[in-house]
Structure 1
Amino acid sequence: MPQLAERIPPSVAGAVLRAVFALPDPVRRLIAGRPVVRDGQRLALDAQLLLQMTRLEGATLTGATVPAARQGLARGQEYINRLPARPVRTRNVTAADTVPARLYEPKGLAEGSPLLVFFHGGGWVIGDIDTHDSVCRYLAVNAEVRVLSVGYRLAPEHRFPAAADDALAAYAWAVENAASLGADPGAIAVGGDSAGGNLAAVVGAFADRRPDFALLFYPATDMSVRRRSRALFADGFYLTDADMVWFSDHYCPDEERRTDPKASPLLAKDLSGFPATYLVTAGFDPLRDEGEAFGKRLEEAGVRVAVRRQEDLIHGFANMWGLGGRFQEALAEAAGALRTGLL
Structure 2
Amino acid sequence: MREAPVGHLADPELTAYIESERHASGPTPRQVGAVEARRLQRLRAATRPAGPALAEVTEVTVDGPVPVSTRLYRPTLEPTPLVVFLHGGMWTIGDLESHDGLCRRLAVAARAAVLAVDYRRAPEHPWPAAIDDGVAVFRWAAEHAVELSGTTHPPAIAGDSSGGNLAALICLRLRDQGGPLPAVQILACPNTDLTLSRPSTRTKATGWGLTTDAVAWGIENWVPDPRRRADPAVSPLFAVASAGLPPAVIVTAEHDPLRDEGDEYAARLRAAGVPVRHRCEPGMVHGFLTLAAIAPSAAAAGERLFADVAELLPR
TM-score (norm 2): 0.91
- 1:82 maps to 50
CA deviation profile, 1:9-37 (whole Å, cap 9, x unmatched): xxxxxxxxxxxxxxxxxxxxxxxxxx932
- The CA distance in 2 between the partners of 1:82 and 1:144, in whole Å, is 18
Structure-2 change in CA distance of 1:59 and 1:115 (3 Å)? farther
Matched, 1:192 2:159: yes
Matched, 1:316 2:287: yes
Q: How many residues align?
A: 303
Q: Contact 1:101–1:151 at 8 Å: present in 2 too?
A: yes
Q: Which amino acid aligns with 1:191?
A: A
Alignment of 1:220-299 (within 5 A): 220-299=191-270
Alignment of 1:21-170 (within 5 A): 36-37=6-7, 42=9, 44-59=11-26, 62=29, 63-84=31-52, 86-97=53-64, 98-106=67-75, 108-111=76-79, 113-170=80-137
- The CA distance in 1 between the partners of 2:132 and 2:37, in whole Å, is 24
The higher-RCO structure (CA 8 Å, 6+ apart) is 2
SS in 1 for 2:91: coil
- The CA distance in 1 between the partners of 2:16 and 2:28, in whole Å, is 17
Structure-2 change in CA distance of 1:60 and 1:304 (3 Å)? farther
Q: Which runs of 5+ in 2 are unaligned?
A: none
Structure-2 change in CA distance of 1:60 and 1:144 (3 Å)? farther
Shift of 1:59: 4.0
Structure-2 change in CA distance of 1:134 and 1:60 (3 Å)? farther
Q: Contact 1:210–1:273 at 8 Å: present in 2 too?
A: no
Q: Which amino acid aligns with 1:103?
A: L
Shift of 1:305: 0.4
- The CA distance in 2 between the partners of 1:69 and 1:155, in whole Å, is 12
Query: Larger deviation: 227-236 or 71-80?
Result: 71-80
Q: Which amino acid aligns with 1:82?
A: A
- The CA distance in 2 between the partners of 1:61 and 1:110, in whole Å, is 44
Same amino acid, percent of matched pairs: 36
SS in 1 for 2:292: helix
Query: Larger deviation: 268-277 or 233-242?
Result: 268-277
Shift of 1:151: 0.5
Q: Which amino acid aligns with 2:238?
A: L
Q: 1 or 2, which has the higher helix percentage? A: 1
Shift of 1:243: 0.5
Structure-2 change in CA distance of 1:148 and 1:215 (3 Å)? same
Q: Which runs of 5+ in 1 are unaligned?
A: 1-34
Matched, 1:175 2:142: yes
- The CA distance in 2 between the partners of 1:335 and 1:299, in whole Å, is 21
Q: Which amino acid aligns with 1:217?
A: A
